[in-house]
Structure 1
Amino acid sequence: MLETNKTLCYSGDELVEVLKEIEYILISLHKLGAHYAETLPSSYLEYADETTKFIDDNNISEKLANIRKILSSKFDNSLGVDDQDDLERAFEKLEYWKPRK
């Protein structure tokens, strides 16, 4: 990792924005799960539908992309000898969702 990426500084406003988004998503999903917890598994389809609806109707992917943008904006994205920056290198072994066979 580049020395400049070992310590990053964010403004309080940036961190408050990130934490507000995380809080909204986390608490909302917790409340959604708690609401259906007592009736699962019989209400699983309704729970899954409501979770999907929450994600879609509240632009959760956009909120997460904004969090990523704020947090990654401070990184020096200079390429190393492997032709990758520090974040690319850190993410290269992540296993992303893929359809079941």
Structure 2
Amino acid sequence: MRENNRKITLTADQALQALAQLEFIVLSLHRMGSHYVDKPVADYQRATTDFIDNERVTGRLAQVRRILTEPFDLTLGEDDMDDIERHLQGVKPWRPD
């Protein structure tokens, strides 16, 4: 890891923007889970899918990722990857079966 990436700084505004998005998503999903605990799984699945789509959850999470990525120096290393790419290369996103 590059020395200048060992410690990054966010402004209070940046941190609060990210926290607001995460709070909305986490609390909403928690409340949905509690609400649907005794209801059919299909209803819960439909509600969570609708929530993700209607509330632009993917876009909200992308905004959090942008906020967290901004302070990093994205200079490529000898492996043609920046520090973030290198650290996240083991993340295995969902793929269809």
- State the TM-score bracket (shorter-chain normalisation): over 0.9
- TM-score, reference length from structure 1: 0.93
| Deviations 1:44-75 (CA, angstroms, capped at 9, x unpaired) | 11100000000000000000000000100000
Gaps of 5+ in 2: none
Deviation at 1:38, TM superposition (A): 2.2
Moved over 2 A (4+): none
2:64 alignment partner in structure 1 = 67
CA distance in 2, matches of 1:24, 1:86: 29
Gaps of 5+ in 1: none
CA distance in 1, matches of 2:33, 2:71: 34
- Counterpart AA for 2:57: I
2:45 alignment partner in structure 1 = 48
Q: Is the aligned partner of 1:2 residue 2:7? A: no
- Counterpart AA for 2:4: T
1:7-22 to 2 correspondences below 5 Å: 7-22=7-22
CA RMSD, Structure 1 to Structure 2 (Å): 0.7
Count matched residues. Answer: 97
CA distance in 2, matches of 1:48, 1:38: 13
| Deviations 1:17-45 (CA, angstroms, capped at 9, x unpaired) | 00010000000000000001123xxx011
